Structure 1
Amino acid sequence: MESATTEYATQGLTSEQVLQARAQYGRNEVIKRGNPLLKKLKSILLDPMFILLLVAAVIYFVNGEIGNGIFMIISIVFITGISLYQESRSHSALSALKELTQPMCTVIRNGARIKIKKEEIVIGDYMVVEEGTSVPADGIILQSNDFSVNESILTGESLPVSKSKEGENNKVFQGTTIVGGLAICRVEAIGIYTALGRIGKSLEWIEEEETPLQKQIRNFVKKMALAGALIFFIVWGINFTQSREVLASLLKALTLAMSILPEEIPVAFSTFMALGAWRLMKLGVIVKHTGTVETLGSATVICTDKTGTITENKMSLAKVLAWPTRQITSLENFGDPERELVTWAMWASEPIPFDAMEIALHDVYRTTTRSDERLHYKMVHEYPLSGVPPMMTHVFDNGTGHRIIAAKGAPEALMKVCAFSNEDKVVVNDALQALTSEGFRVLGVGISDYTGKDFPATQQQLPFVFKGLVAFYDPPKKNIGEVFQSFYNAGIQVKIITGDNAATTSTIANQIHFRGTDKTLTGEELTQLTDEAFSKKVMEVNIFSRMFPDAKLKVLNALKSNGQIVAMTGDGVNDAPALKAAHIGIAMGKRGSEIAKEVSSLIISDDDLAKMVDAIAMGRRIYTNLKKAIQYIISIHIPIILMVFIPLALGWVYPTIFSPVHIIFLELIMGPTCSIIYENEPLEKNAMQQKPRPITNTFFSLQELSISIIQGLVITIGILLIYQYAVQHHYNEATTRTMTFVTLIVSNVFLTLVNRSFYYSIFSTIRYKNNLILIVIAITIILTASLLYIPALMRLFKFETLAIFQLSISLLMGFTSVIWFEGLKAIKRVSDA
């Protein structure tokens, strides 16, 4: 049985066996019931606006107004189509993002280790799980090496559990996290049949929590809907009391209710967020949760690690201090003591290195050794990176009883476990100071001669002999100085949180003109501060060195307690708690562990921090454009509401100036304007020179809405003046209706153009690259012209052809009622100059 297990663990399943298993057991996923488009269609059918349109259509048919009824039905189909199209766009964007964020796992198939998507794993597969990954399916352990798993997702117990193929504790479960070692496991259960899947099935219909902005929008729309319902009954009651005509009164009340409902706002929000995430994906930033897009523009602090983010992560062994010589030696001057030190450092590394420093040690060992001994030794015990400061130890055996025990880690950690005289400590500290001041990353190396079979619980209990220091140079990325300057310009603080020591970090930081290199704080110093003292200190210090996971988490929480919106970069297992705690967790796509990617909210595909500048700019752009869209919706709704209500309530000569067909036409124009034009607007020139937007800001405060309300009221005054002008000149109802409608349409067009910026003039924004604005405005003009000059449509809308003067005065009033806002913008620009 053992030989068969070994054979299959080496060969794995064949491609044919994989297909058979998938056909029999399905894919490794919890199947969600329901089609998103059908779900959207159901929500449309229950939407208040849809119900109002349907009722209006029925009333038209009952009254014998067949043309109006048909137009309403066509409009209902068209609006439903637009909504489904928007949902389809959003769904496609989110599906593409989901495809990119699918977790990967390693399996053995056809005798080779390959990477596949987690959902593609099948029962019978041999999966390879190692430190930094999560278990993709339930399985039984076949082979393991110092293997430990965090099963808190299932058990609530945060301490790692050691596992092996012997005994009862020989199973692994989907979703649990590997914190040490490696194992090969045979898959026993997938999808809903795993321990986690059974829990997930019961939670299938739990909805994702709404973001603050979503809640604000939902509350605003709900209040407007309630207001619409209240006014509907009031207007219907007044009209019925006066006319005793049920259907006519109902139609007038419906017209007003339709004008009040701002159903474009939630559609605009979902469209902006989904397409924003898609745009970020095209830039190389993968967004796992669309709610993150909303938060990006508010980031006030970015916490970044050093290696691989600030630096190239291309470690080269530059200098060493071999303990027998007590001298710092460069690579080109290596002698036997230096070669021996590199050999010990190589044995302290992983047999198959993936860390940049370990790769460098293996490369130098291979080129400097006289006899490569790696094939003759097998690792028999491992102490993973642990301790404060951290170190790691590997134990190798060649099968004949000869044992190698080597350790490497922070020099301070090695100094703690090795016997040192005071003079020795001075030598090491002086060498450490000299190396770190040049920007080198330094590791200490030690060996042990422990001969027992029962290894101590911790590596610090072994007797170690110090062998020296190895120093690596990892140059800063060429663009990182410009990246940090972009963050500073945008009012964002940058803090470095690293496991390296303060001197090395400060040297690299100075090379890239990082601000605040004079103040540093170590993880150990942090633990000695009270929460109150640290809460103040965290805002003053920009370099945090020798940081361990709990210390990183404490920095994050302290920043958050100071009201900061924190973005955090990370790549390792130890970064996971801080990534999860940050408002915006940022994992690195190339070097990031699967765990880091899983808990983060963003993934930078090429590990280039410059992408975060793009992401923050995109976040600010999306928020600003959404604000423009919502303010436009509110501004244009006010004249529609008041033009329906005022003539009716005051008993003017033409009380029903607009009917449902007019309102629905305006809805057809407004929807694409806010969801298509404004979503496609570029970033404004000054967006990345402003301070971050407070997360507590809302579109719906009186201060934010005041401009929209004033714009809407001025447009209303302009339309009412045209109405009164027409009445005073004894124009008939059709002419009056046509003039007021044209004025409203013209106001809508110019409002769209003026509100492209609340700071820059229309002469600046006209140069913005947004081809969609010309298309939408052209369609609006063509449709409006059709209503004015095609007889069938004129009869449907009860319009009349306008004389040149009548048309001109309507155009002029529509333009004037909006363009005044350009004067306010000019005053603001002058005051800021």
Structure 2
Amino acid sequence: MWYSKPIEEVIAELSPDPARGLSEEEAKARLQKYGPNTLKEKKRKSVFQLFIEQLQDWLIYVLLVAVVITLFMGEYIDSIIIMAVVILNAVLGVVQEVKAGNAIEALQKISSPKALVRREGIVKEIDTENIVPGDILILDTGRYVAADARLLDAPNLQVEESSLTGESVPTAKDATALLESQIPLGDRSNSVFMSTLVTYGRGTALVVATGMQTEVGKIASIIGEEVEPKTPLEERLDHLGKMLGKLAIGICVLIFVVALLQGRDLAEMFLISVSLAVASIPEGLAAIVAIVLSIGVTSMSKRNAIIRRLPAVETLGSVNIVCSDKTGTLTQNKMKVVKYFNLDGEVTVEHGEQNTASADATLLAKAFILCSDATYDTDKEEGTGDPTEIALLMLGDDLGLDREALSATSKRQNEYAFDSERKLMSTLIEEDGHYTVYTKGAIDNLLTICTHTREKGQVVPLTEEHRQRYVNATESMSGQALRTLGVAYRPVDAVIAPQEMEKDLILLGLAGMIDPPREEVKASVDKARNAGITSIMITGDHKNTAYAIARELGITDNPGQVTTGQEVDELPKEVFRDRVNNFRVFARVSPEHKVKIVHALKSNGNIVSMTGDGVNDAPSLQAADIGVAMGITGTDVAKGASDMILTDDNFATIVSAIEQGRNIYNNIRKAVLFLLTCNLGEVVAMFITLFIGWEAPLIATQLLWINLLTDTLPAIALGMDPSDPDVMKQQPRAPDESFFAGGAGMRAIGGGLLIGGLTIFGFWYGYYEHGFSPFDDAVPVETLENARTIAFMTLVACQLYYSLALRHPTKSIFQVGVFSNRFLIGAIVLGLLLQLVIIGVPVMQQAFNLQMLDFRGWVTVIILGVVPLVLNELFKVYLRARE
């Protein structure tokens, strides 16, 4: 057992050099040997299993019974057609499920977590699946452990292992411990395990097991398959489908009873009733929604927004407040020190050049470097860690310090990790047998724990005058939109506990860093404002710095809209709740303030999006309606608590995601309304004609064909409609708004009645042009087939053309672009071609009881087919004029 062996023996067995790690060649070889560091995914259903599932519906069972009955009746062609339609419908369902599954699988790969490893002497971030036994893992606060590993060093390391042990209290780790071979998992203090979370401190560890060989992998191998829960949107549509299904079945039963009272052929009416039930129930809703969601979400991921939870797509359309961190989200996250201050005065730094520096300035830069967890390769211009710390390393380069030599002569013996309450970080460094504490953090907090400072190369007591000079320098830099960070030190005689470090410190000075605003953010803030969305900046920076950036980005131009975390704490809860909508900038806030802000905003009826990247941001991300984690700087905890991850950490991506979310929801709505309108048209045509005593305008096979034609390709094509460029000129959608809001329900009913009425008229005209009436008793078979052919062609033409009208509720098809949705044009053309095939090929004619139309019949079909589209376009003209 790895945990019961001396660390030297473990290193010898796995053969890495702890100082350099594995070479890339050796890592590739081990990846081939051990396989990827992933848990075995649950087995995907086979195509045959998916096909059988498509048939497991009681209406399909009734259709299969109908096949048997028609066979006994000698209606072989009807039997073949019904069976073919059932099989083809199942095949299309399988194709849709496979596509949706592939899209979601691709998303999971995109959002795979990262880990820090040391390879060839360089710390780099790689996908966790590429980690192999023998890798050197770098552990830091807020990061999930990527594999089972034996600790090499673990200063103050604490790991939350509840996912494995059930113990909610973080476990303190000790890299030097040598344990018995039978010790329980929860007591293995010299090891860390895959999927556990580093909550405090830092460390390095040697990977000893990956994938299914890890402790969590052993558990995963005995866990059964999970059932993927439906999203609220899918559940709502499922409920809608069942309700409409019951309504349709009721109408079909009524039709059958009417037919029974009218003395019609019961076998024929049984087939027609069952077929109408199948055609009128939008059983394709769930599959179409799944496919539109998955395609839309995959498209969003290509634009740097990874949706982790599908309900977020629906919620995005309702967001009216976006709370965003400043650093890296509103700004470029390319920090660089442009000024530093000590009691010798303020000095401007020329980045990338050698600056002359006094002894105190050199000591200041050295302190920043030794109190850092970041790395930076000057030649490759690549670094790992917090951008602020990287900027401080670059300051050392600019002031002429040799960081490699400094690293070789100094060794970290202890540390007091940063936390949001203290806003400080401290390290205990040994250099040539001498020990020094280095502390960096908010200058306000340093001033309270420093007793001395350096002036003209000498350590002197920190006077009130000195304090005021530091405060003035901080305010001056903040007014120039610079972020400030102070640093101090203290020589000590020996290794001391973390809690003893931050006392009686000697203040060295502070650095002023700039992080320029992203160029695209101002336009995004304006775009959000036009869409009824308020942008709010939340930052730990000084109030003046925050206001300067916010004003430049157009978030606010009123200092009265800026407040601080301390001011928030001073306000009673009810007062803050009443005033929270007035603020646009929250400065000097902690993660705890974020939660308070979210709750206050939500209590006023707002739908809130909140960004975060740290461990302590998880509560606010979970409290928000849409939690947004940073993909670059975000910790694994923040990503795990979020609904959406930004792979570029950019505010503009949030606004873009809201826009895409609105369009995805609108596309789903179009598909739903199209299906309901078409199905209603079929029910209206069948019910009214049979109720008044006419022959059925459509037979069972024709109904099933129409269902197959219109419930698949056109509906999916509508779900893939290009984005509406004006969607961000609309106000946010109410979260409880139904699909039928804004007159959509009445338009669906009106469209269904119109299509049904035109089908009935076409059926009547088929009699009329042959000199008969549908009320006549003795009508030639040719006349009935002619009438049914016109009704059949009219219904399909109406539905296919009407899909164009549903692309936008008020814009004409010319405004949205007739050919801008080539998928829909393709679906319409394919549908019309298939109609020509079954009416033009003699075998198909006979199978569907159709006949070739004469000139007047074709003219009737063409005119009636475009009527719903034309009337809808005229109604849009009226709506636009009224607006």
Q: Residues 284 and 712 of structure 2 are in contact (CA less than 8 Å); yes or no, is this contact kept in structure 1?
A: no
Equivalent position to 1:694, from 729, 734, 740: 734
Task: Report whether the alignment pairs 1:413 with 2:414.
Answer: no
Partner of 1:379 in structure 2? 412
Partner of 1:349 in structure 2? 372
Q: What SS is found at the alignment partner of 2:753?
A: helix
Partner of 2:325 in structure 1? 305
- Cα RMSD, aligned residues only: 3.0
Q: Residues 149 and 177 of structure 1 are in contact (CA less than 8 Å); yes or no, is this contact kept in structure 2?
A: yes
Q: Residues 663 and 723 of structure 2 are in contact (CA less than 8 Å); yes or no, is this contact kept in structure 1?
A: yes
1:274 CA displacement: 0.6
Q: Mean alpha-carbon deviation: is it higher for 486-495 or for 668-677?
A: 668-677
Task: Report whether the alignment pairs 1:257 with 2:277.
Answer: yes
Partner of 2:629 in structure 1? 587
- The C-alpha deviation readout for 1:672-727, integer Å capped at 9, x for no partner, is 34443212311223211111112211215695422101111122222223334444
Partner of 1:247 in structure 2? 267
Task: Report whether the alignment pairs 1:366 with 2:384.
Answer: no
Q: Residues 9 and 184 of structure 1 are in contact (CA less than 8 Å); yes or no, is this contact kept in structure 2?
A: no
- The C-alpha deviation readout for 1:626-675, integer Å capped at 9, x for no partner, is 111111111111120122222223322x1x22122111211222133444
Q: Residues 715 and 818 of structure 1 are in contact (CA less than 8 Å); yes or no, is this contact kept in structure 2?
A: no
Q: Mean alpha-carbon deviation: is it higher for 284-293 or for 259-268?
A: 284-293
Partner of 2:9 in structure 1? 4
Return the alpha-carbon distance in structure 2 between the equivalents of residues 282 and 647 of structure 1: 51
Distance 1:113 1:412, change over 3 A: closer
- Unpaired stretches in structure 1, ≥5 consecutive residues: none
Task: Report whether the alignment pairs 1:483 with 2:524.
Answer: yes
Distance 1:714 1:37, change over 3 A: same
Partner of 1:474 in structure 2? 515
Letter in 2 for 1:416: T
1:6 CA displacement: 4.7
Letter in 2 for 1:348: C
Q: Mean alpha-carbon deviation: is it higher for 244-253 or for 671-680?
A: 244-253
Task: Report whether the alignment pairs 1:788 with 2:829.
Answer: no
Task: Report whether the alignment pairs 1:272 with 2:292.
Answer: yes
Partner of 2:95 in structure 1? 85
Partner of 2:173 in structure 1? 163
Distance 1:334 1:768, change over 3 A: farther
Equivalent position to 2:544, from 497, 503, 520: 503
Task: Report whether the alignment pairs 1:720 with 2:760.
Answer: yes
1:594 CA displacement: 3.5
Equivalent position to 1:555, from 585, 590, 597: 597
Task: Report whether the alignment pairs 1:664 with 2:671.
Answer: no
Q: Residues 320 and 330 of structure 1 are in contact (CA less than 8 Å); yes or no, is this contact kept in structure 2?
A: yes
Partner of 2:620 in structure 1? 578
Distance 1:252 1:671, change over 3 A: closer
Q: Residues 68 and 796 of structure 1 are in contact (CA less than 8 Å); yes or no, is this contact kept in structure 2?
A: yes
Q: Mean alpha-carbon deviation: is it higher for 120-129 or for 71-80?
A: 120-129
Return the alpha-carbon distance in structure 2 between the equivalents of residues 526 and 221 of structure 1: 48
With structure 1 as the length reference, what TM-score do the two structures score?
A: 0.91
Distance 1:623 1:358, change over 3 A: same
Q: Residues 682 and 770 of structure 1 are in contact (CA less than 8 Å); yes or no, is this contact kept in structure 2?
A: yes
Equivalent position to 2:656, from 579, 603, 614: 614
Q: What SS is found at the alignment partner of 2:17?
A: helix
- The C-alpha deviation readout for 1:413-449, integer Å capped at 9, x for no partner, is 1112123544333222222211110111111222223
Task: Report whether the alignment pairs 1:756 with 2:798.
Answer: no
- The C-alpha deviation readout for 1:220-259, integer Å capped at 9, x for no partner, is 1111223344444444455456659653342132123123
Partner of 1:463 in structure 2? 504
Q: Residues 710 and 800 of structure 2 are in contact (CA less than 8 Å); yes or no, is this contact kept in structure 1?
A: no
Q: Mean alpha-carbon deviation: is it higher for 131-140 or for 109-118?
A: 109-118
Within-5 A mapping of 1:733-752: 733-752=784-803
1:20 CA displacement: 7.6
Q: What SS is found at the alignment partner of 1:515?
A: coil
Return the alpha-carbon distance in structure 1 between the equivalents of residues 208 and 487 of structure 2: 42
Task: Report whether the alignment pairs 1:149 with 2:159.
Answer: yes
Return the alpha-carbon distance in structure 1 between the equivalents of residues 569 and 689 of structure 2: 71
Return the alpha-carbon distance in structure 1 between the equivalents of residues 525 and 868 of structure 2: 44
Distance 1:16 1:476, change over 3 A: closer
Return the alpha-carbon distance in structure 1 between the equivalents of residues 221 and 591 of structure 2: 33
Q: Mean alpha-carbon deviation: is it higher for 546-555 or for 671-680?
A: 671-680
Q: Residues 750 and 819 of structure 1 are in contact (CA less than 8 Å); yes or no, is this contact kept in structure 2?
A: no
Return the alpha-carbon distance in structure 1 between the equivalents of residues 122 and 207 of structure 2: 17
- The C-alpha deviation readout for 1:446-486, integer Å capped at 9, x for no partner, is 222343544253654x2212222211122112222112112
Q: Residues 268 and 674 of structure 1 are in contact (CA less than 8 Å); yes or no, is this contact kept in structure 2?
A: no
With structure 2 as the length reference, what TM-score do the two structures score?
A: 0.87
Q: Residues 678 and 752 of structure 2 are in contact (CA less than 8 Å); yes or no, is this contact kept in structure 1?
A: yes
Q: Mean alpha-carbon deviation: is it higher for 467-476 or for 447-456?
A: 447-456
Distance 1:341 1:22, change over 3 A: closer
Q: Residues 292 and 716 of structure 2 are in contact (CA less than 8 Å); yes or no, is this contact kept in structure 1?
A: no
Q: What SS is found at the alignment partner of 1:145?
A: coil
Equivalent position to 2:231, from 207, 211, 215: 211
Q: Residues 320 and 468 of structure 1 are in contact (CA less than 8 Å); yes or no, is this contact kept in structure 2?
A: yes
Q: Mean alpha-carbon deviation: is it higher for 752-761 or for 161-170?
A: 161-170
Partner of 2:198 in structure 1? 178
Return the alpha-carbon distance in structure 1 between the equivalents of residues 732 and 702 of structure 2: 41
Return the alpha-carbon distance in structure 2 between the equivalents of residues 414 and 118 of structure 1: 38
Distance 1:818 1:475, change over 3 A: closer
Distance 1:174 1:769, change over 3 A: same
Return the alpha-carbon distance in structure 1 between the equivalents of residues 116 and 467 of structure 2: 45
Equivalent position to 2:358, from 313, 331, 335: 335
Letter in 1 for 2:396: Y
1:320 CA displacement: 1.8
Equivalent position to 2:54, from 40, 44, 56: 44
Q: Mean alpha-carbon deviation: is it higher for 182-191 or for 58-67?
A: 182-191
Q: Residues 59 and 251 of structure 1 are in contact (CA less than 8 Å); yes or no, is this contact kept in structure 2?
A: no
Distance 1:513 1:235, change over 3 A: closer
Return the alpha-carbon distance in structure 2 between the equivalents of residues 437 and 663 of structure 1: 72
Letter in 2 for 1:383: Y
Letter in 2 for 1:222: K
Q: Mean alpha-carbon deviation: is it higher for 746-755 or for 768-777?
A: 768-777
| Identity among equivalent pairs (%) | 27
Task: Report whether the alignment pairs 1:57 with 2:67.
Answer: yes
Partner of 2:341 in structure 1? 321
Task: Report whether the alignment pairs 1:531 with 2:536.
Answer: no
Distance 1:813 1:352, change over 3 A: closer
Within-5 A mapping of 1:184-203: 184-187=204-207, 191=211, 196-197=216-217
Letter in 2 for 1:211: T
Letter in 1 for 2:236: Q
Equivalent position to 2:824, from 767, 773, 795: 773
Q: Mean alpha-carbon deviation: is it higher for 59-68 or for 362-371?
A: 362-371
Task: Report whether the alignment pairs 1:824 with 2:824.
Answer: no
Distance 1:123 1:584, change over 3 A: same
Letter in 2 for 1:10: D
Distance 1:564 1:613, change over 3 A: same
Q: What SS is found at the alignment partner of 1:547?
A: coil
Partner of 2:45 in structure 1? 35
1:185 CA displacement: 3.4
Q: Residues 521 and 651 of structure 2 are in contact (CA less than 8 Å); yes or no, is this contact kept in structure 1?
A: yes
Return the alpha-carbon distance in structure 1 between the equivalents of residues 479 and 49 of structure 2: 62
- The C-alpha deviation readout for 1:336-370, integer Å capped at 9, x for no partner, is 43333223333333374632232232233234247
Letter in 1 for 2:523: E
Return the alpha-carbon distance in structure 2 between the equivalents of residues 9 and 181 of structure 1: 24
Distance 1:190 1:279, change over 3 A: same
Q: Mean alpha-carbon deviation: is it higher for 213-222 or for 89-98?
A: 89-98
1:123 CA displacement: 5.9
